[in-house]
Structure 1
Amino acid sequence: MLRRFDMAKRALLAMPRSYSRLAQASPNIATMNDSDKYRQGEILHGFVVEEIGRINEMYLDAIRLTHMKTGAQYLHLNRDDSNNVFSIGLRTTPMNSTGVPHILEHMSLCGSKRYPVRDPFMKMLRRSLATFINAMTGMDYTIYPFSTQNQKDFRNLQSVYADAVFQPFLRELDFLQEGWRLEHTDPNDKNTPIIFKGVVFNEMKGVFNENQWIFAEKLLNLILPSHTYSVCSGGLPLVIPELTHKALKEFHDKYYHPSNSRIFSYGNFPLEDHLKFMDERYLSLSNKIDTTMSIVPSEKRWTAPKREHITCRNDPLAPDPQRQGTFAIGHLCNDITDIQSTLEMNIISELLLKGPNSAFYKSLIESNIGSGFGSLTGYDSHAKDTIFAVSLQGVNPDDFEKIERVYDETLDRVIDQGFEKDHIEAVLHGIEMRIKHQTSDFGINLLFNITPLWNHNGDVIRSLRINDAMDSFVLKIKNDPQYLSKLVDKYLRSNKHRLILTMSPDENYDSKLAAEEENLLKNKLEKLTNDELNEIYNSGQILRADQEKKEDTDILPTLKVTDLKEDVDRYIYNDVQVDGVPLQVSVQPTNNITYYRGILNTRELDTNLKNLIPIFTDVIAKMGTKSHDYRSFDRLCQLKTGGLSFCSHIAEKKDCINTYEEGIFISSYCLDRNADDMWELWTELFNEAQLDDIKRFETLVKSNAGDLSNGIADCGHVYAMSSAAGLISPAGKLKESLGGLEFIGRMKKIAQEKDLSPLLENIREIRDQIMNKIHFRTAINLSEDNKGDVIQGLHGFYGSLNGECNSEAILYTNKQLSGLNESGIHYVMPYATNYTSKAILTVPYNDPDYAPLRILAKLVSSLYLLPEVREKEGAYGSGANISAEGAFTYYSFRDPNSTKTFDTFDKTWEFFESFKLNQRDLDEAKLGVFQKIDAPVAPGSRGMLRFIHGLSDDDVQIQRMRLKDVTIDDVIRVAEKYLKPQTEGIKVGRAIIGPANSDLLERKSENWEVISPEKDN
């Protein structure tokens, strides 16, 4: 995974970061009780034990320590989980928008005292079996986390990470590459124009391609204006060029000291090994310093609300061009260290905002005053002072004042009427579900959840005791029925620290931004002497030579292919039939939660109906039934389950490249005690789904269309890969039609229709044709304790369904794409950077060439694209992979180039033809592939490869052995066979998402189609 800038303020969760999805343990997990092993005041390898706590709801022991010499804080969470986590965090509080902590995060991982090689972080990505490896810059902290199941791997990564944080080189060449530089467009040609380059510079230009990022950044800056939150920690593109290498090194000296660090470990590896390593290698080498400089003060509260308006770029995919405004009201709430208030405000947030029973959903969404809630909506407990915000997108700017009035009226009504008892119970049930629900990345999520609180010296161990906080809350509302209304009044209605922020598009936004960058560049160049201008060329040559320098990476630690396990993890599944419906049963330690999935085959639907499946999946569970209106049905779902979910399903056949299963995937989960209720809800939905309320339908369709147009820039490379694959693969084409930019464009047109009645009739046709058991297959994961009773309850559900189940459980569709062997599609978008992709159709999963192609993709990414596209050309990311449908796909992310990157993609075979591939390169690529294959699987998800993709344990094991057996000759053979340009019979698709591009006119053989959503407006 490429390291990324993680703007925490956008993750406005339904639960506080110190609570969300924390207690996901299983009662079947036994863990050594470290509360008995260690004693408060005990000294362990230079650390003193400050506090020990047993967290029963998570089946773990928390040990908090302090390093005596430096004051470094250490938290270890001992739990019998093989997926161990380690992290070094630092409180970093910039006072300008040069992006210094963000650029420093990148540079720290570019070589260190113990590992003097260029960019050891990127190289460790392919020398490890890490289940997570990254580094992140938040608004007031920087963290360096990883997780792995292998103890040797843990120590290798711990060594590289600790050295990167405490002993980095911070070379000026790395500053030029990762941060910003002036360089000729062609570094080898002095006559080409000089421009700004740099990985972070281009990354942040890409970040602010997205209007909602612009809005989120500004709201944070304005509502917390007195300290570090008033600036952009990731860096503003027009301010980044103010940063000097000297200032960056000074920032490191100030903040990257052990005294300012918070070190975290989790899992079942021995704590004392971690402590000894950190003390002897790093901490004991330093003395304690004063770290009060990094403390973030509480914001002084306002005496009156404030208003601000900003502008953004036009969104060509907005459903209604006249409704592109965004509105938000934000309130500064409690201090993050007030753990009880944080929990209670999150409950308030869910009550006010989540689902059709919430007050703001009724007043702001169903009134159609906006297309839907904006990304800022919710309660955010990341900053020192927490924020509650309600944001509305798809708004006519003329309605800004009306929205504010409706907002206040809604609060008044809530304060006067309070919340319904079963609504509160539904929210509390959701918290219980999150506590019990297990994921394979429990430890890393736990780190992300506690980091903001710990960063401000909050009581982390107390925050983990969720049951105590919940008991306290329940007692409060029992003793005072008006307690929640009082909280709403205190923190929202009567709170003077209120910001009203509005945003609307400016048709000249991009041209103004481009002019500002041009003027900045011009001013910099005008101040340079001829010698300094010549030095820009020389510096570019030196950097290019450094990037191309051959390095001896043997100094870096690595796992070996022999460290891989021999066999896949195997689980027992039973295939049974219940009332004729196939059911895959997997008994697992699910913590007394039942996980249910099903696939409704849609092969026999007409094509026009298939194109509407995403709309069907979005509305089917949200419009009520004959027995319950949509509000009542949603309330029942929240009270008894984790929700009833629908989504499109396309699964490629493992042995045929043009064959796939198409359908609708359904899922839900519940506490075992509520299984009968869950089956009743599914029974009611399948047999009584009501699709008659046209007003409700219009609300859902327009809200969905508005949501789809957001986030494209954040995932631009994913959309580009989908578009490229859709040009060469039948399964890829269907995926693009049901979830890519093609679908988003179609949704935009649908949302503009004045009468949606014909569309609703089509949705009813889909319901009538597929909501039965004719082509229905299912799976269930559950614990042994209640297996019999839970499965018995399915008889009522399946017995109620119409039709006779087809004996052929899986129906496949076989298609071949006709047309040109090479084609391209360009979506013109008003972005400052590009997202590109090239896809080549190869072979399916079971073909012997698939394994060497997987290895080849890793080699292409690390040996070729990383230095060429990222390091030299400044794209934030680039890589290659092979998808399940056999599409070998290249991509670039936040890329300042477009067609130049395609030229790089096209020269892959030329690179491998001349490159001397060695066994170490091959072994590292294999490790990179096995990172994903050997990643832990949560109990509730075991067996899903088999159920969804038809891959048995034996299929996976055969693939595993083929991967291990891949040779250098195999890699070169498939590279020549599939990647050599103009190879006869090979289908190639290309896609660009980005600004208008006249260069495509010169590439006639690639048969480009240009789509400009802006013209549709």
Structure 2
Amino acid sequence: MKFEINKVYHGFKLIEEKEVKELNSIGRIFEHEKSGARLFQLQNDDDNKFFSIAFRTPPEDSTGLPHILEHSVLCGSRKFPMKEPFVELLKGSLNTFLNAMTFPDKTMYPVASRNEKDFFNLMDVYLDAVFYPNLINTPEILMQEGWHYEIEDKNDDITYKGVVYNEMKGAFSSPEGVLMRKIQESLFEDTVYSNESGGDPEEIPKLTQERFVEFHKKYYHPSNSYIFLYGDGDLDKQLEFINDNYLKDFDRITVDSEINYQKPYEKMKTVEEFYPISIEDSENDKTFLSMNFVTGKSTDPEVYFAMEILEYLLLENSAAPLKKALVDAELGKDVFGQFDSSILQPTFSVIIKNSNEDKSEKFKKVVFETLNKLVEDGIDKKLIEACINITEFKLREADLGGYPKGLHYNMCALDSWLYNGSPFTNLEYDSILNKIKSALTTDYFEELIKKYLLYNNHSTMLILKPKKGMAEEKDRELKQKLKDYKASLSEKEIEKLVEQTLKLKKRQITPDSKEDLETIPMVSIDDIDKKAEEIPQQIKEENGVNILYHNIFTSGIAYIDLYFDTSMLKRELIPYINLLSGILGKISTEKSHYSELSNEININTGGIQFTSSAFGDVKYTDKFYPKFIVKSKVLPNKIPQLMNLLHEIISTSNFDDKKRIKEIIQQMKSREEMKIFERGHIVAANRVMSYFSHAGRYMDELNGLGFYKFITNLEKNYETMSEEIINNLKEVYNTIFNKNNLVVSITSEETEYADIIKNLSTMTDKLKTIEFNTQEYLFDIDRKNEGLLTSGNVQYVAKGYNFKKLGYKYDGTMLVLKTIINMDYLWNKVRVQGGAYGCFMRVTKGGTIGFSSYRDPNLKETLNVYDNTVDYVKNIELSEREMTKYIIGTISELDQPLTPSMKGERASTNFFRNISQEYLQNERDNVLNVNVEKLKKFADVIEDIVSKDYYCVLGNETKIKENKDIFKELVTVFE
């Protein structure tokens, strides 16, 4: 259908239409005349249709009102009155993405689906949720999702409970999380950005129901909305639906949601803050130093892209000159940067981790001296070319690791659109990149450094210091505050709190009515493809090398992954495999200094990455295949250069630079620490697997908590261990890169394949060809049941075992059971009633069933929930509609869209794990043919799993020590 400028379509007037060549899309800007809603559409051939409605929601304080509201609008609405429509969609839609997101100044509600009927269902539920939520007349929603006083008996102590309250307690436990919040706060002390939109746990309990409702009424109006549509959908039909069902009922109003600019500072401000560490931790080398700058406006696309490239140029690659200067000055053990372009005034930060307060002045001196030198002497043009090239490659590839492209483009559009700019601004990047490329012959970036870094007084020096006992002190203060509060209440007031708590609990445990549940629209089983997707894979041999070839449309990019078997290595060298993956490409070779190597990689390829893993055989419980993996991507005309680079790295790397290897080890330790805070549920779950599985124990030593302890020891004792470390690295390096243990995975179109094979021998013919013996890794596995102690304010509670070891077989029916348990039992018990942010049951083809919670205020209570899963399974009763819903939800998870590179990786993984297409089809058939009786048969599996009593908890040291009787070992995580 052809659309005409200034013509009205279902209430939407078309303001602008143009081609966005960079995205292979047609972009259209509409305005809804009656309601004032803005709408931006990107039309293209992507079948993963995407919709989002966003609102500008400037936080007025740090109670987390925008964040709690984001959770709460999805807890029932006018047309969909059940308690949690969001969960019902997770259970039974074909969504490829379903979420809600709070930012410092906006709130987004995005959904995606490849099925048109499902897509309209998702839009319907989300639009009704944001415009007509039940939270207005149901105070229990704020109590559940935000906070409430919890007291079930008048003689009990009062506590705080709430999903967001506990989520943010977890977020504020991470020093990096505290750092990022304090950076923004320090730079914008007079604007809304000084407030924490997510919520400060100390401020959240100040939020009242009245203010909650007022905020919704003020900001959740179409006149303050930004609607985004993306993909191959029928735009006319979509506009008709949005208008006829929602927007026609609203009149345009004036919404004061304007975000003000921060008045520039006259000079750099110094700010000191604290974060908690365990009483057992040392305070030495645990300070963060951060220099932060406000850099222009996000509506300026040149700043938007150029500052991001500059941050990568100065701080994020192996040739980064500012990073090198800071590392050489030995100011800290990790250096990184951050450019935040998602707010009105973007910010640029230079950050040193694992430093000390007394180094702050030297930090400032080194930063400014280095930047001045770069301006005076000029930046290496090859480094500039490398940084622009890798940025451009990533922009054109637009590979978001499985997230819908629509989500990425929506966020880019909002980065200007939200601030009264055009949504096209940050999507049309070709002309901007061409302008930035003038830096190859001019002093473009040098002038940028002068303007935004050297001569910019709107800046701060943030010193974030560790404080022992801070968490315990705050906990004592909170307990005393609540004790004093209770003492101030009359008996009648206490009884009222008890009554409110019990009323909330009654609401939480009362099932939705059949009538309410049936208001949620559903697709049918007939809308599901009965055939499992088959990823093309040809198994070949080319010039003595085993090849896995995936003939897939890749937009002209070739993905080449090298899988080297590492099973010949001695057990004590296992963690060195992962260490090697962090070092290769970042150390010099016989030909190139590591900075030159970095430039060559970024100029000639889309990136070369090194990683390590192990692939478990689906047929045999403890059989697994360890691999060292080299991932690369390249445009066809650069294939010869890629092969030369791969050869140079895997055949001629030099391990004699002790100083450089020490720097990399320090950085790896730092990044492992960040992962532990960010992914505590995965750390705890994987640790449990190491108790009962040889493969699990291998992975723990390779890249789990065992590896963190390993690299902490190397970093701590590097001076005395350096020779040993280097010798072990050389042994791993010289052993694994062998033509006889190599499988090459290629994902490309046919035309590129021939070029890849023609050039492959450049690298493979120079590899050693040595026969080797694989060894079986057998460990002394044991039920350790550890309590992993941190200064965090919440727990990550994990429990599990392997059912194949107990004589059971994997069946696709288990995936449906997982969906049911996750979306019904665990969601209600651990999140809704327990107050944790999340809880998950995992089922693997290898036989592991594992439970893990995320940002959980509880410990024993959550373990009890896991144990009681068996009773839930024994008593499952589902209507035909409910069963259909869970089947659809399970298929939705199986059918998540994959990028071309992900398809190649998935097919290669299946090959190594002996997963055939027949196996996958059988799994899908099991899902589609499930019934209640089949589900109930798995009660015995669950019972046997939980009765083995293998568990691990990562979390607050006080809480864990209070429950020390249930643990075999207490382990301090950070030293």
Normalising by the smaller structure, the TM-score range is over 0.9
Q: What amino acid maps onto 1:451 in structure 2? A: L
Alpha-carbon offset, residue 848 of structure 1: 5.1
- The aligned runs of 1:307-706 (5 Å cut-off) are 307-314=270-277, 321-374=283-336, 377-439=337-399, 440=402, 441-475=404-438, 478=441, 481-551=442-512, 552=514, 553-706=517-670
Q: Provide the C-alpha distance between the structure 1 equivalents of 2:924 and 2:619, rounded to a whole number of angstroms.
A: 16
Query: How far off its partner does 1:85 sit?
Result: 0.5
Q: Deviations 1:105-154 (Å, cap 9, x if unpaired)? A: 11100000011110111121011111110001100000000111111110
**After alignment, is 417-426 or 434-443 more displaced?**
434-443
Taking a change above 3 Å as real, the CA distance of residues 980 and 564 of structure 1, as seen in their structure-2 partners, is same
Deviations 1:290-339 (A, max 9, x none): 12x11111211111111111111126898x75100100111111111111
> 1:28 maps to what in 2?
none
1:57 aligned partner, one-letter code: E
1:304 aligns with 2:267: yes
1:795 to 751, 761, 769: 761
Q: Residues of 2 paired with 1:316 and 1:420: CA distance?
A: 46
Distance in 2 between the 1:263 and 1:97 partners?
27
Pick aligned residue for 1:897 from 858, 882, 893: 858
User: Contact (CA 8 Å) 1:578, 1:794: kept in 2 or not?
Assistant: no
Give the count of matched residue pairs.
961
| Partner residue, 1:72 | 37
| Residue type of the alignment partner of 1:424 | I
Distance of 2:304 and 2:279 partners within structure 1: 39
Give the aligned residue type for 1:776: L
| Separation of aligned partners in 2, 1:813 and 1:946 | 25
Q: Which amino acid aligns with 1:435?
A: L
Instruction: Give the equivalent residue in structure 1 for 2:786.
Output: 825
Where 2:855 maps in the other structure, the secondary structure is strand
Q: Deviations over 1:62-106 (max 9, x none)?
A: 011000012110011001011110000000001101111111111
Cα distance in 2, alignment partners of residues 578 and 758 from structure 1? 38
Aligned equivalent of 1:182, options 137, 145, 149: 149
Counterpart residue number, 1:975: 939
Displacement of 1:517 in angstroms is 2.0
Among 932, 935, 938, the alignment partner of 2:893 is 932
Q: Give secondary structure in 2 for the equivalent of 1:858.
A: helix
Compared CA separation, residues 488 and 816, structure 1 to 2 (3 A): closer
CA drift at 1:442: 1.6
Percentage of identical aligned residues: 26
- Tell me the CA shift for residue 982 of structure 1: 7.1
Aligned partner of 1:13 in structure 2 is none
Structure 2, unaligned runs of 5 or more: none
Q: Which residue is 1:87 aligned to?
A: 52
Aligned AA for 2:711? M
1:875/1:895 contact within 8 Å kept: yes
How far does the alpha carbon of each residue in 1:338-394 deviate from its partner, in whole angstroms, 9 at most, with x for none? 1122222222222211212222111112433211125xx222111111111101101
**Could you list the per-position Cα deviations for residues 957-983 of structure 1 after superposition, in whole angstroms to 9, with x for gaps in the alignment?**
221112212221121111223335776
> What TM-score, normalized by structure 1, do the two folds share?
0.91
From 265, 268, 276, the counterpart of 2:232: 268
Distance apart, 1:646 and its partner CA: 1.1
The one of 934, 949, 955 aligned to 1:993: 955
Counterpart code for 2:301: I
Secondary structure of the residue that 1:334 maps to in structure 2?
A: coil
How far is 1:523 from its partner?
4.5
- Contact 1:646–1:667 under 8 Å retained in 2: yes
Alignment of 1:46-65 (within 5 A): 46-65=11-30
Q: Which sits farther off after the overlay, 339-348 or 41-50? A: 339-348
1:669 CA drift (Å): 0.5
Task: For residue 942 of structure 1, report the CA deviation from its aligned partner.
Answer: 2.2
The answer to whether the 8 A contact 1:354-1:361 is kept is: yes
Aligned CA distance change for structure 1 residues 385 and 971 (closer, same or farther; 3 Å):
same
Match status 1:774 vs 2:737:
no
Instruction: Tell whether 2:65 aligns with 1:100.
Output: yes
TM-score by length of 2: 0.95
The C-alpha deviation readout for 1:395-429, integer Å capped at 9, x for no partner, is 02221111111011011111111212211111121
Contact map agreement 1:60 1:78 (CA 8 A) in 2:
yes
One of 822, 837, 848 as aligned partner of 1:876: 837
Shift in Å, 1:743: 1.7
Alpha-carbon distance in 2 for matches of 1:853, 1:550: 24
Alpha-carbon distance change, 477 to 628 in structure 1, aligned in 2, over 3 angstroms: closer
Say which of 214, 224, 243 aligns to 1:250.
214
Counterparts of 1:814 and 1:978 in 2: how far apart (Å)? 28
Q: 1:925 to 1:737 in 2, by over 3 A?
A: farther
Q: C-alpha displacement at 1:634, in angstroms?
A: 1.3
Contact 2:786 2:952 survives alignment (8 Å): yes
Local SS of the residue matching 1:294: coil
Q: Tell me if structure 2 keeps the 8 A contact 1:317–1:748.
A: no
CA distance in 1, matches of 2:806, 2:110: 32
Q: Does the 8 Å CA contact 1:653/1:949 hold for their aligned counterparts?
A: no
Q: In the TM superposition, what whole-angstrom CA distance separates every residue of 1:861-882 from its partner, at most 9, and x where no partner exists? A: 1221111111111111112111
Quick one: which of 870, 875, 878 aligns to 1:909? Answer: 870
Aligned partners of 1:226, 1:866: CA distance in 2, in Å?
39
State whether residues 328 and 389 of structure 1, in contact with CA within 8 Å, keep that contact through their aligned partners in structure 2.
yes
- Point out the more displaced range, 792-801 or 880-889: 880-889
**1:6 paired residue number:** none
**In structure 2, do the counterparts of structure 1 residues 972 and 284 end up closer, same or farther at CA, with 3 Å as the change threshold?**
same
Please list every run of 5 or more consecutive structure 1 residues that lacks an aligned counterpart in the other structure: 1-33
CA offset at residue 624 of structure 1?
1.6
Kept in 2, the 8 Å contact 1:581–1:805? The answer is no
Give, in whole Å, the separation in 2 of the partners of 1:981 and 1:575.
38
Q: Following TM superposition, by how much is the alpha carbon of 1:476 offset from its aligned partner in structure 2, in angstroms? A: 6.8
Amino acid at match of 1:179: G
Q: How far, CA to CA, are the matches of 2:345 and 2:690 in structure 1?
A: 46
Alpha-carbon distance between aligned partners in 1 of 2:855 and 2:66, rounded to the nearest angstrom: 20
| Stretch moving more, 365-374 or 52-61 | 365-374
Cα pair distance change 1:869/1:476, threshold 3 Å? closer
Distance in 2 between the 1:549 and 1:297 partners? 45
Q: Give yes or no for contact 1:729–1:817 (8 Å, CA) kept in 2.
A: no
Looking at structure 2, the residues matched to 636 and 490 of structure 1 have their Cα atoms a distance apart, in angstroms, of 29
Partner amino acid, structure 1, of 2:14 = V
Where does residue 20 of structure 1 map in the other structure? none
Structure 1 residue 777: deviation in Å? 0.7
What secondary structure does 1:97 align onto? coil
Find the aligned partners of 2:964 and 2:240 in 1 and give their Cα distance: 62
Q: Distance in 1 between matches of 2:468 and 2:425?
A: 51
**Do the aligned partners of 1:238 and 1:520 also contact (CA within 8 Å) in 2?**
no
Could you say what secondary structure the match of 2:92 adopts? coil
Cα-Cα RMSD:
2.1
Q: Indicate how the Cα distance of structure 1 residues 974 and 814 shifts in structure 2: closer, same or farther if over 3 A, else same.
A: farther
